[in-house]
Amino acid sequence: MAFTLPELPYDKAALEPHIDAMTMEIHHGRHHKAYVDNLNKALDGKPENNEDIEALMGKVSTLGAPVRNNGGGHYNHSLFWKLLSPNAGGQPVGALAEAITAAFGSFDEFKLQFANAGTTRFGSGWAWLIVQNGALKVCSTANQDNPLMDVAEEKGAPVLALDVWEHAYYLHYQNKRPDYIAAFWNVVNWEEANRNYEVATA
């Protein structure tokens, strides 16, 4: 069961001016495609070839670096594309909004903590909002690791994710990662984040 590159749920230029079309073209069509291709190569002929990506993440420590790196890249990006949307942004509503207020005191405080997780992640990695033991928590991971992995320092179910690898923003923002993170709030698909929260707390 080979993994495949998912289609973007919007046009590559749809997130402009916050995320430019060329970045989306390279990020999705080259970087994510490479993770998919290399993951399939790493799993070729192995019994895990028929398992879904979440199952692989849960035992990634037993599968070697190529599966960890490329499987993480495939899972993370597949989640990330859905969490972006044109004409989005604003604030969450409903259960997720209530949970954010309960965990962080306010939406603004959550934004500060999430942005800080992305800004202070040294080198390449991701910022996350996860459900851990029934409550929301902000954390970050290096490279293509994620909180589903059995090797993760902070384990939990992802609700929101932000790619802070340079390839996600460098064409448009150069070395100004905080500007990219600030722009991210204009394209967050809170409906998708709400769905992730509902699944994580079901």
The model's pLDDT over 7-61, given as tens digits with 9 standing for 90+, comes to: 999 999 999 999 999 999 999 999 999 999 999 999 999 999 989 999 999 999 9
Longest dimension (CA), the chain: 50
* pLDDT value for 1: 66
How does the average pLDDT of the chain come out, rounded?
97
pTM over 0.95: yes
Residue 200 to residue 14: CA distance in whole angstroms: 29
Q: How far is CA 108 from the centre of its chain?
A: 20
CB atoms within 10 A of CB 34: 14
Could you tell me if 175 and 186 are in contact, meaning their C-beta atoms sit under 8 angstroms apart?
no
* Helix pair 190-201, 94-104: axis angle to 10 deg: 80
What pLDDT score does 136 carry? 98
CA distance 186 to 189: 9
Predicted local distance difference test score (pLDDT) of residue 72: 98
pLDDT in tens, 113-126: 999 999 999 999 99
**Residue 191 in this model has a pLDDT that exceeds 70:** yes
Closest CA to 159 of 127, 122, 119: 127
- Nearest partner of 98 among 136, 129, 133, judged by Cα: 136
In contact, 70 and 38? CB cutoff 8 Å: yes
